[in-house]
Structure 1
Amino acid sequence: MPKWLPALIINNGYKDWNQYFDDVYRIFERDFVLDKPVYKNIRLGLKKHPEYNGKSATFWHLISEGKIEEERLPCTYRCERITYPKPIIDNSNDKCLKIWIELRKGEKRIHIWYEDENYLVVLAQRGNYILPWTAFYIKEEHRKKKYNKRWNQYKTPS
Structure 2
Amino acid sequence: MSDDWLPDLMLFSDFNGDWNEYLEALHSAFEKDFVTSKPKWLNKRVGLKRHPEYDGKSATFWHMISEGSTEEDRTPDLRRCEHIRWPSPMMEEHDELPPGDSKARLIWWAEERRNETRVLLSFEDFSYLMVVADRGNYVLPWTAYPVEREHQQRKLKKRYEAFWAAQKG
Range class of TM-score, shorter chain:
over 0.9
TM normalised by structure 1 equals 0.93
- Other structure's SS at 1:95 match: coil
**Closer, same or farther: CA 36–118 of 1 in aligned 2, 3 Å:** farther
Residue in structure 2 matched with residue 90 of structure 1 by the alignment: 92
Indicate which of 103, 112, 118 corresponds to 2:121: 112
Q: Percent identity?
A: 46
TM normalised by structure 2 equals 0.88
TM alignment of 1:125-136, pairs within 5 A: 125-136=134-145
Indicate which of 128, 145, 151 corresponds to 1:142: 151
- Aligned: 1:5 with 2:6: yes
- Aligned: 1:124 with 2:133: yes
List gaps (5 residues or longer) in structure 1. Answer: none
How far the C-alpha of 1:39 sits from its partner, in A, is 2.2
Could you tell me which amino acid in structure 1 is paired with residue 164 of structure 2?
Answer: K
Q: For the residues of structure 1 that align with 2:71 and 2:90, how far apart are their CA atoms?
A: 25
**Closer, same or farther: CA 117–23 of 1 in aligned 2, 3 Å:** farther
Per-residue deviation, residues 116-139 of structure 1 (Å, max 9, x unmatched):
571111011112000111111101
List gaps (5 residues or longer) in structure 2. Answer: 96-102
Q: For the residues of structure 1 that align with 2:73 and 2:105, how far apart are their CA atoms?
A: 34
**Closer, same or farther: CA 57–64 of 1 in aligned 2, 3 Å:** same
Count, aligned residues: 158
Q: For the residues of structure 2 that align with 1:137 and 1:98, how far apart are their CA atoms?
A: 15
What is the CA RMSD across the aligned residues, in angstroms? 1.5
